[in-house]
Amino acid sequence: MSEPYNVLFLCTGNSARSILAEAILNRVGAGKFKAYSAGSHPKGEVHPFALQLLKALNHDTSFARSKDWEEFAVPGAPEMNFVFTVCDNAANESCPVWPGQPMTAHWGVPDPAAVEGTDAEKHLAFAEAYRMLNNRISIFVSLPMNTIDKLALQKRLNDIGRDLPKAG
């Protein structure tokens, strides 16, 4: 078996959506993909509701830490095959130059950490973000990576981010 594909999920704070995506891909893509996450302006801690949700869904959360995306743009960092932005702010920012010219796409998901209301409403927002990311990542891992050409693959990556209805 060949090396797994490295995937980096980016968001601004790296405290919720990108952390959820990292956990999901490391579970559903185990062996075929290795996921990472980072933020352009990391909050420095993972949102407690994200950790609670992941633990409730039996995800290992020992990986979860809020980190700067520059960590993945330095010599010796894992070379990424794919980089996905999961928030609109990160998609509009100037990203570092990623070694190896990974394929990129924007898979925007509403920010559950920005939801105001009761704890139940906030937990629901995190569950909805998880559902959207899980659906997109499940489609992604089923793509025929070894047989699809680069242009067709890029189109499919972009379509994954557009085809699913957004909450809100």
DSSP letter assigned to residue 94: -
- From the candidates 57, 77, 95, 139, give the one annotated as an active-site residue: 95
Query: Which residues, at least 6 apart from 35, have a Cβ–Cβ distance to it below 8 Å?
Result: 7, 8, 9, 21, 22, 23, 24, 25, 26, 29
- From the candidates 11, 90, 132, 133, give the one annotated as an active-site residue: 11
Q: How far apart are CA 119 and CA 60, in angstroms?
A: 23
Residue 17 annotated as catalytic: no
Residue 95 annotated as catalytic: yes
- From the candidates 16, 23, 51, 87, give the one annotated as an active-site residue: 87
- Cβ atoms of 101 and 159 closer than 8 Å: no
Residue 152 annotated as catalytic: no
Which residues are the active-site residues? 11, 87, 95
